Homo-oligomer: A and B are copies of this chain.
Amino acid sequence: MIQRGLLVVLSGPSGAGKGTVCKSLLPSTEGLSYSISCTTRAPREGEMHGVNYFFLTPERFEEMIGNDELLEWANVYSNYYGTPVKYVEDKLAAGENVLLEIDIQGALQVKRKYPNGVFIFLIPPSLEELKKRILGRGTETEESFKLRFGAAAEEMEYITEYDYVVVNDEVEKAVEKIRSIIVAELSSVKRNREYYMKLIREGQKDAVSFD
């Protein structure tokens, strides 16, 4: 009896450091793999179908939307991006844990379709620090900063839609916490009821024999 894998959704306001945390988390966590997205944008030099993305035609992508074959999707600068249900579902059924790094709107879409996921909100250590990180990119006018920072502050309100909050003060600490969350969730009774019920039934049979 294989224990079903977890869908781990790492999300949070822009500037929280989701990408950096994922890059460190993935290679160092056994049994965790990255969810490969679908997109209609053209492959870049060196990108491979089924490795970096599933590269699809707009027609095929729209068909997937129509057939409800995507956990979430968005259209960014006229390109579609989305997470294929079947790819994720196959991995989970095989007992693999799947990591989805995604913005808040995407995470909320996933939650509606797969409330059983583990929803982690990554935040910068303080809004002061977030301010520094946004300004540190050096590309901001006062106008665009206010827009981005204001958006991030507003996005904080979505915390209550999530299961966990991890403060990204140091990448390695944040990674360690996410790894702990995965271990804990895999040990949770609510996720393993069926398995434990089987244990109990076996136990009651065994209890009658001494040898």
Taking Cβ atoms with an 8 Å cutoff, the residues of A that contact B are: 121, 123, 127-128, 131, 142, 145-146, 149-150, 152-154, 156-157, 159-160, 162-166, 176-177, 179-181, 183-185, 187-189, 192-193, 196, 199-200, 202-204, 206-208, 210
Contact = CB atoms under 8 A, between A and B. Distances in A.
A131 B206 contact: yes
Nearest to A135: B210
Which secondary structure characterizes the binding site on chain A?
Answer: helix
A188 B163 contact: yes
Given A150-B207, A200-B159, A207-B149, A177 B183 contact: yes
A199 B156 contact: yes
A206 B127 contact: yes
A37 to B, nearest CB: 26
Contact of A189 (B162, B179, B208): B162
Nearest to A119: B189
A202 B127 contact: yes
Nearest to A121: B189
A9 B183 CA distance: 18
B184 A165 contact: no
A192 B180 contact: no
Given A203-B153, A206-B153, A177 B187 contact: yes
A164 B181 contact: no
Nearest to A200: B156
Contacts of A207: 127, 146, 149-150, 153-154
A166 B184 CA distance: 9
A196 B160 CA distance: 9
A195 B55 CA distance: 43
A128 to B, nearest CB: 8
